[in-house]
Amino acid sequence: MMPLLEVWAFIFLKGRTLLDKYMDVDGIKNKIEERLKTLGYSLYSIKYLRDNKKGNTLEIIVDRDESINLDDIVSVSDNLSSYLDEIIDDKDETSYTLDVSSLGAEKPIDISKLDKYVGKYVNLHLSHPYKGENILEGIISSYDKESNTIILTYKIKTRVINASLKISDIDRARLAIKF
């Protein structure tokens, strides 16, 4: 009788396909990052999802400082699809669906890059409340590099407020949709 660990290893390895060999996510991650960099994007995440019913999916999420629209995603997807066909040798044994997407309209913002979002409508979560508020939404009006502060213009009912916020007081930031 085989020990349980050997049985599990046999079942696990027996179920592997050549796709698993070629879809070593860590192995292709660097190549995809390099390719995206030439296209003006960065790789946010990459996952390889195995599903016997729906089929295998290679999920790639891209980002860049500028907004990303549907045409951009189609262009990146087409480019990566061709590139992956080049770097994966055995196409007959490696069927998968390529799913390329962006972080979306309300993507998280790296706090160290807030200066690039001057003029954008953002949602800020503060570690130290400003006038009793932990969460503020408004437009980043300016950024002062010397004092490492931003001016956030936001509204409360009909009043327009210009809040001077230290970057160190901002816990999280994301783009926001203005209604």
pLDDT in tens, 124-155: 999 999 999 999 999 999 999 999 999 999 99
The sheet carrying 170-175 orders its strands as 159-166, 149-156, 133-144, 121-130, 170-175
Domain co-membership, 140 together with 78: no
**Whether residue 165 is found in the same domain as residue 127:** yes
Tell me: do 120 and 90 sit in the same domain: no
Give the number of domains in the chain.
2
72, 102, 132 — which closes off a domain? 102
Give the domain-ending residue among 102, 129, 145.
Answer: 102
Q: Which of 56, 80, 102 is a domain's end point?
A: 102
* Domain match, 75 and 127 both: no
Average pLDDT over all residues of the chain: 84
Give the pLDDT band of residue 108 (cuts 50, 70, 90): very high
> Looking at residue 8, which CATH number applies to its domain?
3.30.300.70
Tens-place pLDDT, residues 15-29: 344 334 445 667 789
Same domain, 9 and 83: yes
The domain of 21 spans 4-102
Do residues 61 and 44 make contact, with C-beta atoms less than 8 angstroms apart? yes
Which residue is listed with tokens 């349980």?
4
- Which domain CATH number covers 116? 2.30.30.180
- Give me the sign of the Cα torsion angle 168, 171, 29, 176: negative
What's the sign of the alpha-carbon dihedral 31, 34, 39, 45? positive
Whole-number Å distance between alpha carbons of 177 and 165: 21
Q: Are 124 and 134 within 8 A, CB to CB?
A: no
